[in-house]
Amino acid sequence: MPETPVAAPASRTVVHHVRVEFGDCDPARIVWFPNYFRWIDAASQHFFTTCGVPPWHELEKTTGILGTPLVDTQARFVKTASYGDLLQIEARVSAWRRSSFTQSYRVLRAQPDGTGAPDLIMECEEVRIFAAHRDGDDRAIRAVPIPESIRALCT
Amino acid sequence: MPETPVAAPASRTVVHHVRVEFGDCDPARIVWFPNYFRWIDAASQHFFTTCGVPPWHELEKTTGILGTPLVDTQARFVKTASYGDLLQIEARVSAWRRSSFTQSYRVLRAQPDGTGAPDLIMECEEVRIFAAHRDGDDRAIRAVPIPESIRALCT
Amino acid sequence: MPETPVAAPASRTVVHHVRVEFGDCDPARIVWFPNYFRWIDAASQHFFTTCGVPPWHELEKTTGILGTPLVDTQARFVKTASYGDLLQIEARVSAWRRSSFTQSYRVLRAQPDGTGAPDLIMECEEVRIFAAHRDGDDRAIRAVPIPESIRALCT
Amino acid sequence: MPETPVAAPASRTVVHHVRVEFGDCDPARIVWFPNYFRWIDAASQHFFTTCGVPPWHELEKTTGILGTPLVDTQARFVKTASYGDLLQIEARVSAWRRSSFTQSYRVLRAQPDGTGAPDLIMECEEVRIFAAHRDGDDRAIRAVPIPESIRALCT
């Protein structure tokens, strides 16, 4: 990513809530890790819809944008979670570039008694792009410049 | 990870094969990225069983080891894949430490005509531990020193 | 299932809420059907915990019960759903037998404007058992008689 | 389904192979049942591609057909499976109607020593349609008459 990031000092944070289900856990009785990425992807989309960005299928009609596929992700798993746990996923955009952006997440679990600081379960930092289909190939994608209107809604 | 890694110069590589299914793809018609982590987790386990490490439920009886949960992961998505694609996932252990190890993966797609270099779809580097349950809590885990016998089988 | 069912005329209904995510949908842009079974399994568990049944890992310590695996399922898909839709899953136990029970579900979607009858998306009827591990085999299960205390909580 | 089914006496059977992974299993250490539907959906598609039906994205260009969504499913779970198990899924079309068809599956597990009859793990019978998007709504679908060419390939 050679593009120069623009700092997002007062970046807006949107919280997405997840309840861990029995089927999200593996034979070691803890969350099977690919499920964290499922939830983070949902948190990413909720971030945009909460900020007022139209859902992708509406955006596609006016801009060709299909979604925000992942270019790069880094995640650190701090504590385990198991079924019955209620998780909060904080999502924000920590940097905007011309055609890519960095989205950052913290997955937290409130203490069962509701007091004290929540546990940090995992954190994740992603680079994503806004993507459209390539001409003539509806199963390949290309990055498009990030619309100024979307950026304005999200900051 | 303050532990000093031990280089694994001639590290053994095991290939895991995956066929991308319709349901693995999202409305943009490309693989929905959490599925890559599902396949990489399978490739991780196939690495160990191919090397001769017993399945976790057998290992648990003798060593208490439940699996190899993730501590940290970094992934880079290079090209998209879609349904019908046949992927090869190369897995190896690139570093061993006292109680953690680094596992590295490359996800490749052969050219449809079978000639030429395969496409690199994504690559991933993980830190994992060997884990057992904590005393008295069957939903929490702790790292255990990596058994020398396992390390010998895998290099 | 040769056991004689006991009618549950005033059966308790518990509603579980689901938001359909982008990644729950396939290239036809509708929910990929295995996800309905994921949500129905969560609705099944919420039914029991809402009724006051302890989570399975607590129940296991006192009764050996591990969960309520499926014996039989029938589902009818009436309308499609897509991402952004908010679904309500009504769950109830429609029949209790000695060691199995029937759980029934309706998946509904409220009208976007909040008025009128909700759309029926799918409905499902399952036979489940309460299960414990077989002696000496922690990967095989057997049915156990349904504890009277659980039945009392759920009706 | 008021349509009169046409018997398919010598119906073609295609076998799809699946290896059960650690992450496919739940805290009871058995396959979490929604995964069976994931595999059955893959077996359904492999049936068609093995019979020579083009993949859906090619078929869409010529016929508008997007896939074969489910109308109705019935499944019976006979034995449990766990990670490391190798499953064979037999798929066939057991009845064709004008705009819907019945697809039947048996999920089998070979004996570990390779001798004797395989274990029946589950069986499933589905009604599916061939579907295209509704005019002007790319997130809703409608049934289309089953092309004679597809039916000829599959019997």
- B50 three-state secondary structure: helix
- Count of alpha carbons within 13 angstroms of residue A92, beta-carbon side: 13
Burial B67-101 (b: 16+ CB within 10 A, else e): bbbbbbbbbebeebbbbbbebbbbbbbbbbbeebb
Q: Which of D113, D8, D109 is nearest to D51 (CA)?
A: D8
The pLDDT value given to residue B1: 41
The pLDDT value given to residue C112: 80
pLDDT digits (tens, 9 = 90+) for A95-112: 999 999 999 999 999 887
Q: Which of A144, A63, C17 is nearest to A55 (CA)?
A: A63
Place of tokens 């990929």: C32
B24: DSSP letter: G
- Fold type of domain D6-153: Thiol Ester Dehydrase; Chain A (3.10.129)
CA distance B18 to D57: 20
Q: Is the ipTM above a cut-off of 0.85?
A: yes
Choose among B21, B45, B82: nearest Cβ to D21: B45
CA distance C134 to C112: 49
Residues of chain D with pLDDT under 50: 1-2, 8-9
B84: DSSP letter: T
CA distance D82 to A26: 11
Which distant-in-sequence residues (6+ apart) come within 8 Å of D35 by Cβ? C34, D24
pLDDT digits (tens, 9 = 90+) for B72-111: 999 999 999 999 999 999 999 999 999 999 999 999 998 8
Which distant-in-sequence residues (6+ apart) come within 8 Å of A128 by Cβ? A44, A68, A69, A70, A71, A100, A101, A103
pLDDT digits (tens, 9 = 90+) for C40-64: 999 999 999 999 999 888 888 888 8
B139 touches chain C (CB under 8 A): yes
pLDDT digits (tens, 9 = 90+) for B107-126: 999 887 878 899 999 999 99
CA distance D16 to C86: 35
Q: CA of D27: which chain A residue's CA is closest? A: A27
CA distance A66 to D60: 19
Please give the share of chain B, as a percent, with pLDDT higher than 90.
Answer: 72
A76 touches chain C (CB under 8 A): no
- Superfamily classification of domain C12-153: Hotdog Thioesterase (3.10.129.10)
pLDDT digits (tens, 9 = 90+) for C88-118: 999 999 999 999 999 999 999 988 887 889 9
**Torsional sign, CA D32, D34, D36, D42:** negative
* D77 to chain C, closest Cα gap in Å: 5
Domain boundaries, chain B: 6-153
A72 touches chain C (CB under 8 A): no
- A101 three-state secondary structure: strand
Which other chains touch chain B, taking contact as 3+ CB pairs less than 8 Å apart? A, C, D
Cα B143 to chain centroid distance, Å, stands at 18
* C42 to chain A, closest Cα gap in Å: 6
Q: Is the pTM of the predicted complex or chain greater than 0.90?
A: yes
* B37 to chain C, closest Cα gap in Å: 14
pLDDT reading at A15 higher than 60: yes
Q: Averaged over A121-145, what is the pLDDT?
A: 90
